[in-house]
Amino acid sequence: MTDPQPRPGILTRQNGRYLGFGFLHFFFSFVGQTFFISLFVARMTERMDWADNTFAAIYSTVTLAAAFVLPVIGNQVDRLKVRYVSTVAAAFLLIGTALLAFTDHIALLVAGLFIVRLGGQGVLPLIGSTTIGRYFDKRRGRALALSIIGISAAEVLLPPLATYAMTSYGYAPVWLMAGCAVLFVFVPLVWVLVRRYDDFQKAATVAEAQLKRDPGAAEVTSWSRGDVLRDRRFQLVLPIVLFIPFVFTGLVFNQSVIAEERGYTAETMAYGLSTYGLVRVIFLLFGGDLIDRIGPGRLLRFVLMPAVAGLLVLMLVEASWAVPVFFGLMAVSGGTDSVNTPALWAERYGPRFLGSIKSTVRLFVVVSSAAAPILFSYGLGWSLRGWLIILVVYGIACIALAMGERRVDRKGGGMAAERR
């Protein structure tokens, strides 16, 4: 059996395989991510002869449906060997991409969208973050950052390649190429990177290995999903976790409304989004190292401060330079939070049920993100500055919750901890 303990510098030969496994799952999640699917909206709408908003309605519906299914799959990530779960997910993604490439039937198209959203946007990142988070009890933040950056690599590389291929060959061959990449690149690499008897494969073997190294860890290795939902600390943290996806989704979805009211150009908004992408990658890596130094619980108090500062800038300053400043500050929080939150769950609740816990959190995130465009459209229609004030108050309340959560944590945890 392999030695499960990461070395102080986690980029050893053995641990490099596991980091590659995490990176691979985030990179290949592109199949179901919005940035990739959005490339096909116009052509698929034209092919199906839909109204302009039909695809958006279907897309929101299948995204919500997939989020409600994800906790069931999270249980399997905790129970089964990850090579098998990854392979089954890849098989379904192949089916989903084939349906999107070939079908002209609305029911089959909806099924294809549901499969790629569930598998790409849901299951693959869940496997990647769960396995990395539960395995690396040393340098966990850095390990998560190096894995999560896979999706940023896909965001940079794939849109221009997919656009060129779609222009040359049509959109159906692009979906087929995506499916073939999953089958002929992703699946073989999964089986090469993770070996048959690696402790990395299952939550139970990871927990056993950690207990051998640190018998005192027994107190935090068995938090079930029910225990976590009843934990006072989790209840205080959840609104904080929802802040970035809710605010970012709502503002980006309604960016044209903001631009029209403030007189910003489309180029200004695009520059802001580019700033977000660049700064987020930097703070993914910086945040991972920071987590390893001070711990995710302590960092939680500061994660949203840049985002709230960005909202204040956007609220108070109408000049166009406020847009990239806002997106940059939001990216500082977004990049750090992308690593801090999974590290927090792994550190606080242990490895055995991490998949079911994270998939349940993901359900809350998707529901809040789905609600954001609607709520923001009403809020921005009422008053841009008034709605920004409400968001700033929400952010300040989250920072206060983080302070309160820290006090609860110092007293020994929430209700689930007290029962133990």
Domain with CATH 1.20.1250.20 in the chain: 13-213, 222-412
pLDDT, one tens digit per residue, over 70-126 is 999 988 888 888 999 999 999 999 999 999 999 888 999 999 999 999 999 899 999
Query: By percentage, how much of the chain surpasses pLDDT 90?
Result: 43
pLDDT, one tens digit per residue, over 218-275 is 444 568 889 999 999 999 999 999 999 999 888 887 888 888 889 988 888 888 888 8
- Classify 51 as helix, strand or coil: coil
* 8 Å CB contact between 28 and 97: no
Query: By percentage, how much of the chain surpasses pLDDT 70?
Result: 90
* 8 Å CB contact between 127 and 89: yes
- Tell me 6's DSSP state: P
* 8 Å CB contact between 230 and 353: no
Report the distance separating Cα 223 and Cα 340, nearest Å: 19
Candidates 1.10.10.10, 1.10.1490.10, 1.10.390.10, 1.20.1250.20; CATH matching 222-412: 1.20.1250.20
* Superfamily in which the 13-213 domain is placed by CATH: MFS general substrate transporter like domains (1.20.1250.20)
pLDDT, one tens digit per residue, over 158-179 is 888 988 998 888 889 999 999 9
Threshold 0.95, pTM exceeds: no
Band of the pLDDT at 340, cuts 50, 70, 90?
Answer: very high
Contacts of 301 (CB under 8 A, 6+ apart): 399, 402, 403, 406
At residue 260, the pLDDT reads 87
Report the distance separating Cα 165 and Cα 174, nearest Å: 6
Report the distance separating Cα 364 and Cα 377, nearest Å: 20
Quick one: CA torsion of 283, 288, 291, 296, rounded to 10 degrees?
90
Q: How many CB atoms lie within 10 A of CB 35?
A: 14
